[in-house]
Amino acid sequence: MTPETLIIVFTALLGAIVGSFLNVVILRLPREGSSVVFPASHCPVCMAKLHWYENIPVLSYLFLRGKCSHCEVKISIQYPLVELAMAALSACLFLKFGLTPAFGGYFLFTAALLVVIMIDLHHYIIPDSIDLPGVVLGVLFSFMNPVTSWQSSLLGVVCGGGILWLVAWTYALLRKKEGMGGGDIKLLAMIGAWLGWECLPFVIFFSAFTGAILGITTLSILKKDRNSQIPFGPFLSGSALIYMFFSEQIEHFLHLYISGQWP
Ligand SMILES: [Zn+2]
């Protein structure tokens, strides 16, 4: 095994362990007054405390065949999926940034986005306890971030938050009801803080585009009316993750497109 392969395996393991903690955050953060640290891991249904071997990321799910060993209730597939996603993203972050401060910073950013995606999907909210510290940390991180400058980060916060605030304000004015939650506004400010203002054209366009396509498809499949709510946070977060990994390629295409050389 080459040293690089060894580090890839190690970063994936780290991601899986952190993913296991993110599952707890996703479950407990939206519940008021419950701590993400106490009590120790337990089955959410029968409350039985988990043995260490029932708490191993991904493997325990397979070994328990997706059921609690005490009450046999089905364990959500979401648990191993979040662990696998964080493991894969962590390994990709190493391949992209190497073992640099950028790896550490964007590891935190990625973990926060995963939590936002899952909580928004379940509860249609984006907790302030994630996006507000996320904005501050993103700006602080920009001082040691080789990818963006602090100027770009601050402009990202102002423009990211400002653009969505304007969209929400206009929509509310025209339709006389709220279309976009304040959570989305703060989330885009946080994304701007971490990726710089340069990410905003792509993140806004791509999230709106994929959101519209997926929204129309699910609404027609589920036969819901068009006033049904679709969380926008997962689309913003997903677009931010894509930009984080492929910013050079995306900027290259945008440049060609603007200068008329493509298509
Ligand atoms: Zn149980």
Q: How far apart are CA 109 and CA 126, in angstroms?
A: 15
pLDDT tens digits along 187-232: 999 999 999 999 999 999 999 999 999 888 887 887 766 566 788 9
Region 2-19 average pLDDT: 95
Please state, for a pLDDT cut of 90, what percent of the chain lies above it. Answer: 60
For residue 74, report the distance from its CA to the centre of ligand 1, in Å. Answer: 8
Is the pLDDT confidence value at 10 over 70?
yes
pLDDT of residue 14: 97
For residue 78, report the distance from its CA to the centre of ligand 1, in Å. Answer: 16
pTM value is 0.90
For residue 75, report the distance from its CA to the centre of ligand 1, in Å. Answer: 9
Is the pLDDT confidence value at 37 over 70?
no
pLDDT of residue 261: 82
pLDDT of residue 38: 64
In the DSSP assignment, the letter for residue 144 is T
Hey, what amino acid is at 76? S
pLDDT of residue 97: 95
Of 51-60, 81-90, 105-114, least confident by mean pLDDT is: 51-60
pLDDT of residue 226: 59
Q: How far apart are CA 123 and CA 188, in angstroms?
A: 19
Tell me the pLDDT band of 36, cut-offs 50, 70 and 90. Answer: low
For residue 87, report the distance from its CA to the centre of ligand 1, in Å. Answer: 26
Tell me the pLDDT band of 85, cut-offs 50, 70 and 90. Answer: very high
For residue 26, report the distance from its CA to the centre of ligand 1, in Å. Answer: 18
Is the pLDDT confidence value at 34 over 70?
no
CA-based torsion, 28, 45, 120, 169: positive or negative: negative
At 4 the three-state DSSP class reads: helix
